[in-house]
Amino acid sequence: MQWHIVTGEYPPQLGGVSDYTYQVSKELAKQGDLVHIWSPARHSEVIQSQTQHIHALPHGFGWSWLRDLNRQLQSFNGPRNILIQYVPHMYGWKSMNFAFCAWICMQRRHNVSVMFHEVAFPMERGQRFRHRLLAIAHRVMAGAILRSVRHSFTSTEQYLHLLQNLGNSKSPISLLRICSNIPSESYQWDNGHAPEDDPSAPFTIGIFSNFATELREVLTPVIGSVLENPKIAVALLGPGEAFRESLIKKYPQAANRIRSTGRLHVSEVAERMRGCNALVQIYPDGASAARGTLIGALASGIPVITTAGPKTDQLLLESNTMLFSDLSPQSMRENIEMLSQNPAMARDLGIRAQRLYQEFFQPSVIVSRLREVASDFDAATEVVAYPAVASASNPAQCSVENKLAS
């Protein structure tokens, strides 16, 4: 099976979509498929491999980018399996790339699937005009795409409901969870869970985050409450050096129990997680299956304490694989102390969380679903070679076709 994956970012470029696309393309290649990646990059940036062919497109997502994408894809016989990684703001044009949207709609004769990592800017009462315009434009774009492609995927129940409202009864839409960007092999250890720690060592909670300002404001009182227990230490997994310094100034008596790893390469994260007894992943709007830090924590096999909110998926709430706390420092501390006093419970939570990841989130599960959809298309289509260009009846699509031909 041959795949053409269109994405706005790919390693060595940083980003969640970049990491996700790499993991999925690697798994497709592992299963014997031929994978072509189409992404903006200078040739000097491109990482080539024997199983993945990276096609460097111009930067900027303008007409030259779209023309190159269209022209080079036409050199491959159809029908093609095209998988598009979609985030509205990733493709430029002030987050309103209608030309790319129209190009997607022109690919009806191919097996086009779209992974909606994000769908649309929020629509809220009283928001500024430019934000309302953006929210409307994103919904128009998503609706057009939904009606044109063979299948659409998204990673959370909240996004799924929005897409179902924007599509129609003929728009196949389903959940496809995201995987951790941490290499699967780095999670492995002998007994499927972290080794027992020295009984005299403090109970260490890890926080895997980029420590943005708004999150630091929530974490500070929680960490302060936890550190009142002299048997608990805190490890900031990620670029938390400045945050650590601010915590030490606020809680100088606990300075020797606060540490930061600094920015980590994805290959280093699992090892640092194994140095923790529990992971505390706080999200003010709720834990979500779209949170890469949460999914990485679940995959680790370390017990997780997190927060529920409007964005929390039912899958997570009903899985019994993590402890849910409210945002109050007292509640967080009680859950952490409960785990520290019940190692069997902590171990069981970690094992169940890892099993949940393996059942719904790991790359092999994602790829199995993608290949299933592609196989259904192959079975329903007489696979013959034909030219890629088809006439477009929609005026906007005709305009795009003219631009691509110029």
Give the per-residue pLDDT at 49: 65
What pLDDT, in 10s, does the model give residues 297-346? 999 999 999 999 999 999 999 999 999 999 999 999 999 999 999 999 99
Q: What tokens appear for 107 in the block?
A: 């690919």
* Residues 184/362, Cβ–Cβ less than 8 Å: yes
Position 135: which residue type? A
CA distance 292 to 350: 17
CA distance 265 to 238: 9
What pLDDT, in 10s, does the model give residues 132-153? 999 999 999 999 999 999 999 9
Give the per-residue pLDDT at 195: 47
pLDDT band at residue 237 under the 50/70/90 scheme: very high
Lowest-pLDDT choice from 189-193, 212-216, 323-327? 189-193
**Other C-beta atoms within 10 Å of 44: how many?**
6
Greater model confidence, 15 or 117: 117
CA distance 269 to 185: 12
* Average confidence score pLDDT of the chain: 90
Give the per-residue pLDDT at 190: 47
Q: What average pLDDT score do residues 338-363 get?
A: 96
Query: Looking at the chain, which residues constitute the CATH 3.40.50.2000 domain(s)?
Result: 2-179+362-405, 184-360
Q: Which fold has domain 2-179+362-405?
A: Rossmann fold (3.40.50)
Q: What tokens appear for 31 in the block?
A: 């299963």
Q: Which fold has domain 184-360?
A: Rossmann fold (3.40.50)
Position 143: which residue type? G
Q: What tokens appear for 237 in the block?
A: 């997994």
pLDDT band at residue 379 under the 50/70/90 scheme: low
Give the per-residue pLDDT at 390: 44
Lowest-pLDDT choice from 109-113, 183-187, 219-223? 183-187
| Nearest partner of 313 among 158, 173, 91, 180, judged by Cα | 158
Can you tell me which residue has the tokens 């009903």?
318
pLDDT band at residue 406 under the 50/70/90 scheme: low
Helix (H), strand (E), coil (C) string for the chain: CEEEEECCCCCCCCCHHHHHHHHHHHHHHHCCCEEEEEEECCHHHCCCCCCEEEEEECCCCCHHHHHHHHHHHCCCCCCCEEEEEECHHHHCHHHCCHHHHHHHHCCCCCEEEEEECCCCCCCCCCCCHHHHHHHHHHHHHHHHHHCCCCEEEECCHHHHHHHHHHCCCCCCEEECCCCCCCCHHHHCCCCCCCCCCCCCCCEEEEEECCCCHHHHHHHHHHHHHHCCCCCEEEEEECCCHHHHHHHHHHCHHHHHHEEECCCCCHHHHHHHHHCCCEEEECCCCCCCCCCHHHHHHHHHCCCEEEECCCCCCHHHHCCCCCEEECCCHHHHHHHHHHHHHCHHHHHHHHHHHHHHHHHHCCHHHHHHHHHHHHHHHHHHCCCCCCCCCCCCCCHHHHHHHHHHHC
* Residues 330/321, Cβ–Cβ less than 8 Å: no
Q: What tokens appear for 240 in the block?
A: 């938390």
385 has pLDDT over 60: no
284-314: burial string, b at 16+ Cβ within 10 Å, e else:
eebbbbbbbbbbbbbbbbbbbbbbbeebbbe
Q: What average pLDDT score do residues 84-101 get?
A: 96
Give the percent of the chain with pLDDT over 90.
80
Q: What average pLDDT score do residues 345-349 get?
A: 96
361 has pLDDT over 60: yes
205 has pLDDT over 90: yes
213 has pLDDT over 80: yes
* Beta pairing class for 34-40 and 278-281: unpaired
* Residue 235, beta-bridge partner list: 206, 259
Greater model confidence, 220 or 378: 220
Give the per-residue pLDDT at 384: 46
Give the per-residue pLDDT at 383: 46
Give the per-residue pLDDT at 305: 98
What pLDDT, in 10s, does the model give residues 29-84? 999 999 999 999 765 455 566 667 999 999 889 999 999 999 999 999 889 999 99
